[in-house]
Amino acid sequence: MAPVLLDFTVHVGEQELVRPASPTPREFKYLSNIDDQTGLRNHIPFAHFYSPSRTLCGQDLIVMMKQALAKVLVYYYPVAGRLRNADKGKLVVDCCGEGVIFREAHADITLAQLCKIDGGLKPPFPRWERLLVDDIWGSNLITDSPLLRMQVTRLACGGFLLAYTFNHCICDAYGAYQFLTAMSQFCTNPSQVTPSFLPSWGREILKPRSPPIVSYPHPEYEAFDHPAITHTETDFKRLAQTSIFLSHADISALKNQINSNKCPTFDAVASCLWRARTRTLINPNSITKLIFPIDTQFRYKPLLPKGYYGSAVVFPCATAKAAELIQKPLGYTAGLVSEVKMGVMGDEYRASVVDFIESNGRRGFCSQGTFVVSDMSRLKFVEVDFGWGHGVYGGPARAGTGLIPGMVTSVVGHKNEEGVEGVLALISLPPESVQRFHIEVRKEVNCTRPVRGISAL
């Protein structure tokens, strides 16, 4: 189903640099091998939509946001710096305090109008290229460039959109959530001196061992070190953006097919999406892989400090023949995911990843037949409150992150337009494959109600 195209205009102001509100240390910061690996040299965009506020209607939103941003950058001062190239292919953070990009914009549309299209307010968003004009696709502008680009767009109703994109090397999704939460505290309480949750750097904890010890196989990375193919913004935008909602009832139906009450929600959802995508795109005679990031921050030793906002994820990889994956039951796929997860549950696995990158250079993730599902469903972006209450939507802004067009999908907790809770998967596909993919997902769920919730740009 083609999207409803809204005719509205977004007037975007000139970019300005927001610097820390007070002096910060001038130094170079170490990035771990997980932070600056090739597969994370990209950008991660987010969006928060807010309804009008009666109590704060007299507040100058833009001034408040810029002041809060400047305050939070005092504590997250590496974010105001720049990445520089270092020895042996590594990157370092130059804490130069040059600042982050900020833009003010105005859109002649109301939040209510946005919420009425295509099953409620969810990605893909109309006119996204104007709602975050500094959105960056692929591996462009990684070094010598601002690490955060933010735009606040006032809506005609008095609501607003906060959109921003982080350089993935400086933080992951959890780090972005932590940063925005601290910024929101300075908005709701301007007299607050420090964030309630202070950040920590701690990337040195994840330094490689000497000598490196690669104790696990790592099929998530390319088998050979070869020059990476750099995809252009046009390559990414050739694909259609779409999203699909799975209610808790849908997820229960998937778990029932797996015949395991103990099956984690992620395993069920990722297995469903992997099979549907394989049926839609992959030659049955080929090999297909599922990579799924696992955050080690709170479970592996050595423990990372409270307030850590860098990447601490590992990327285990399940592999299957495409024909077997689609012919065997859903439980087979979930079993592959579970088996791989169990095989990496240990302190040694993360250390092995760090050492593998040290020994083999910065190889990208394997790309042939590969699908990446990133689980953000536990991050409550929608609850970040700048004084306008909880958002109508909060979370990743689009699919198509990563270095390979169409490879990465994000899953976020979501409540649909009818108030039904579940998860939303953000996916990019060839335009001619969008309808087929949605149908294949519904086949997996074995749902009898009509296919709905399809939107694409």
Residues 422, 426, 432, 436, Cα dihedral to 10°: -30
pTM for this predicted structure = 0.93
Active site residues: 168, 385
pLDDT tens per residue, the chain (457 residues)? 444 567 899 999 999 999 999 999 999 999 999 999 999 999 999 999 999 987 765 568 999 999 999 999 999 999 999 999 999 899 999 999 999 999 999 999 999 999 987 778 999 999 999 999 999 998 899 999 999 999 999 999 999 999 999 999 999 999 999 999 999 999 999 888 899 989 999 999 999 999 999 999 999 998 765 555 678 888 888 999 999 999 999 999 999 999 766 899 999 999 999 999 999 999 999 999 999 999 999 888 899 999 999 999 999 999 999 999 999 999 999 999 999 999 888 899 999 999 999 999 888 898 889 999 999 999 999 999 999 999 999 999 999 888 888 899 999 999 998 889 999 999 999 999 999 999 999 999 974 333 444 444 4
Question: What separation in angstroms does the CA of 75 have from each of 48, 88, 293, 444?
Answer: 23, 30, 27, 46
The per-residue pLDDT for 5 is 62
Token pair belonging to 93? 């953070």
CB atoms within 10 A of CB 450: 6
The per-residue pLDDT for 426 is 97
Question: What separation in angstroms does the CA of 283 have from each of 320, 326, 369, 425, 439?
Answer: 12, 11, 9, 23, 18
